[in-house]
A = this chain, B = another copy of it.
Amino acid sequence: MPAKPKWERIADEIRTQIESGELAPGAQLPSTAQLRAKYDVSAGVVRQAILVLQTKGLVEGVHGLGVFVTERSSS
């Protein structure tokens, strides 16, 4: 078993994309289904990663629409 859980690896990957500017503020993240296929994991893992990012304030999920990057002052 990997030292780091799958959901943490995915969360870190997305966070890196946000920090890199690859995912600009206001941009929509790939849907859970897309991420599920991309990382070949179940919905629960993606759900967990998104939830952590939400709690950290990096992204904001809107029910029925999608997950968007929180407008953060470009340091």
Within the assembled complex, what's the spacing in Å between the Cα atoms of A52 and B56? 10
Q: Decide yes or no whether A20 CB sits under 8 A from chain B.
A: no
The count of identical subunits is 2
Q: Chain A residues in contact with chain B, CB under 8 A?
A: 48, 51-52, 55-56
Main secondary structure of the interface of A (DSSP, over half): helix
Q: For the complex formed, measure the closest distance between the CB of A61 and the CB atoms of chain B, giving whole angstroms.
A: 13
Contacts of A52 in B (CB 8 A): 51, 55
Q: Closest B residue to A47 by CB, please name it.
A: B48
Within the assembled complex, what's the spacing in Å between the Cα atoms of A51 and B52? 9
Q: For the complex formed, measure the closest distance between the CB of A12 and the CB atoms of chain B, giving whole angstroms.
A: 14
Q: For the complex formed, measure the closest distance between the CB of A59 and the CB atoms of chain B, giving whole angstroms.
A: 13
